[in-house]
Amino acid sequence: MSRLVLVLGDQLSPDLTALQKADRETDTVVMAEVMAEASYVAHHPKKIAFLFAAMRKFADALRKDGWTVAYTPLDDPDNAGSIDGELMRRLDETGADEVLYTQPGEWRLIRVLEDFASAAPVKVRRFEDRRFICTHAEFEQWAEGRKALRMEYFYREMRRKTGLLMEGDKPAGGAWNFDKENRKPPPHGVDTAPMQFTPDETVDKVLDLVDAKFAQNFGALRPFWFATARGQARRALAHFITHALPRFGDFQDAMLRDEKFLYHAVISVYLNAGLLDPLEVCRAAEDAWKAGDVPINAAEGFIRQILGWREYVRGIYFLEGEDYPRRNALNHQRKLPDFYWSAETDMACVAHAVSQTRDEAYAHHIQRLMITGNFALLAGVNPHAVHEWYLEVYADAYEWVEAPNTVGMSQFADGGLLGSKPYVSSGSYIDRMSDYCKDCRYKVKDKTGPDACPFNLLYWQFLDRHRERFEGNHRMGNMYRTWDRMDADHRKTVLAEAEDLLDRLSKGDRI
């Protein structure tokens, strides 16, 4: 008996379930660069290049390990153009009598492979993706019967399950969460950067291919410095643990114009493709804390992002089903402003986040949440358009992780399933946490008038237009009381100027 074993571009892990179930003596691994995957959204060229290069190197590593790999490059004249097409072609070619695959991370591709299984002349077996700490069954069990699915409680379960940062049944350091210590304003200068890798021959070839085929996509392909193999990704992780993790907690929410990465790990691109394993990353951070190299607020804050948030959003994506990315609880219908592509706006914070995204296919969490996400929510942009933007522009974007973060956390389009209140802020939050405002054409201190910061105007207009929904929210009551205490004429001016700003946005005027 011989089988085909599918390995997708974001399944580059030797312990992938389908590989574990296969036999390297008799079975053939199928990997394919296909247009269907490379164009279901217009991915950032750096993301495509990263994946193709990592796929090619993973295929080579499998071959060295004794596997037979049928690998199809994008420009192979026989390329069938899609994952199911490639599987059919390889079935014909090899005469294999079974296909094994691991569940993809997106409903779209799950359905494609289900249809393939119905049409295929041979048995097709699917396995759960075990490269996560929480299984689907465990998440469903945790969610069952709960009124609110709060990440914090899920995270504690995961701490107990893994024993990470636990002292017996108590959290290490005496608290589950040290976030209060993690809200420091930006530092003056940053003394580290993520590890960068010079393109080798494999990467160079892929860069030329991506240049030729995807030049029209948003984003700069070069310079390209991502790790593209597990060994490199491990080195990047070790570099982060030594040089940046100690200060990760303190400056987790800070933003600096000239420091794109601050003390962030820049490993989501590797984790999500399978080059790093989430538990190994958490254990490495825990070990650094145990060795006394990293304070507890940093180790805990970092581990919470992976053990907590990453696992939790995946659980939500699969629990909620395929309509999740289409939700629009606030009925927001505005078109995504053009400056999300061009960076041509006078708002220094937005211009900066967008141009950094174009150059690096990366922005850190607070830039995504409190700059581009915040503006889209305040302005009432259609959440599906926002979702598509995030899926296109970041190298770490796959729907299972991107959609809950965008549709749920950032746009409140799931009606508060994921977050108990919308992440909106006026300019003063951005000013406190960044150095963007000092060079902005708008004045963050101005609440009204020609120089008023758009976040100031839109923040109050957002609260006002969604009063019915949010007034009773215990975390937002204070803001409504502040708004109501303002002078009536001032409120009228704010609303009128906000409407004017939104009108100009609709007309495509520069704002």
Binding site for ligand SF4 (CB under 6 A): 347-349, 427, 430-431, 436-437, 440, 442, 444, 453-455
CA separation for the pair 178, 507 (Å, rounded): 45
Q: Which one of 36-44, 80-88, 204-212, 398-406 is the stretch in contact with ligand FAD (CB under 6 A)? A: 398-406
Output the DSSP codes for 124-166.
Answer: EEEE---SSSS-HHHHHHHHTT-S---HHHHHHHHHHHH-TTE
Q: Give the 3-state secondary structure of residue 263.
A: coil
- The values of phi and psi at residue 98, to 5°, are -160, 155
Q: Which of 29, 59, 267, 433 binds ligand FAD (CB under 6 A)?
A: 267
Q: Is 59 in the site for ligand DLZ (CB under 6 A)?
A: no
CB neighbours (10 Å) of residue 482?
11
Q: Give the 3-state secondary structure of residue 488.
A: helix
Rounded to an integer, what is the distance from CA 387 to the centroid of its chain?
11
Nearest approach, Cβ of residue 323 and ligand DLZ (Å): 18
Q: Which residues, numbered 300-359, are part of the site for ligand FAD (CB under 6 A)?
A: 302, 305-306, 309-310, 313
Q: Is 226 in the site for ligand FAD (CB under 6 A)?
A: no
Q: Which of 102, 356, 405, 456 binds ligand FAD (CB under 6 A)?
A: 405
Cα 394–Cα 395–Cα 396 angle in degrees, nearest 5: 90
98-102 and 123-127 strand pairing: parallel
Q: Which is nearer to ligand DLZ, 401 or 501 (CB)?
A: 401
Rounded to an integer, what is the distance from CA 487 to the centroid of its chain?
41
Nearest approach, Cβ of residue 262 and ligand FAD (Å): 9
Helix axes 83-94, 107-119, angle to 10 degrees: 30
Nearest approach, Cβ of residue 463 and ligand SF4 (Å): 17
Q: Which of 12, 29, 32, 151 binds ligand DLZ (CB under 6 A)?
A: 32
Residue type, 34: V
Q: Which one of 172-180, 220-228, 362-370, 443-451 is the stretch in contact with ligand FAD (CB under 6 A)? A: 362-370
CA separation for the pair 131, 17 (Å, rounded): 8
Q: Is 37 in the site for ligand DLZ (CB under 6 A)?
A: yes
Q: Which is nearer to ligand FAD, 70 or 313 (CB)?
A: 313
Q: Find, among 342, 341, 371, 153, the residue nearest to 257 by Cα.
A: 371
Q: Which does 28 bind (CB under 5 to 8 A by kind): ligand SF4, ligand DLZ, ligand FAD, none?
A: none
Q: Which is nearer to ligand DLZ, 272 or 374 (CB)?
A: 272
Place of tokens 């070839």: 205
CA separation for the pair 95, 467 (Å, rounded): 63
Q: Is 387 in the site for ligand FAD (CB under 6 A)?
A: no
Q: Which does 427 bind (CB under 5 to 8 A by kind): ligand SF4, ligand DLZ, ligand FAD, none?
A: ligand SF4
Q: Which does 276 bind (CB under 5 to 8 A by kind): ligand DLZ, ligand SF4, ligand FAD, none?
A: none
Place of tokens 């933003």: 255
Q: Which residues, numbered 274-293, are part of the site for ligand FAD (CB under 6 A)?
A: none
Strands (E), 46-122: 68-72, 98-102
166-167 and 170-171 strand pairing: antiparallel
Nearest approach, Cβ of residue 501 and ligand SF4 (Å): 11
Nearest approach, Cβ of residue 346 and ligand SF4 (Å): 8
Residues 6+ apart with CB under 8 A from 205: none
Q: Which residues, numbered 408-427, are part of the site for ligand FAD (CB under 6 A)?
A: 409-410
Widest distance between CA atoms in the chain: 80
Q: Which does 459 bind (CB under 5 to 8 A by kind): ligand DLZ, ligand SF4, ligand FAD, none?
A: none
Helices (H) and strands (E) in the chain, counts: 25, 7
Nearest approach, Cβ of residue 127 and ligand DLZ (Å): 15
Q: Which does 104 bind (CB under 5 to 8 A by kind): ligand SF4, ligand FAD, ligand DLZ, none?
A: ligand DLZ
Q: Which is nearer to ligand DLZ, 48 or 349 (CB)?
A: 48
Q: Give the footprint of ligand DLZ on this chain (CB under 6 A).
A: 8-10, 32-34, 37-38, 43, 48, 51, 83, 104-106, 109, 398
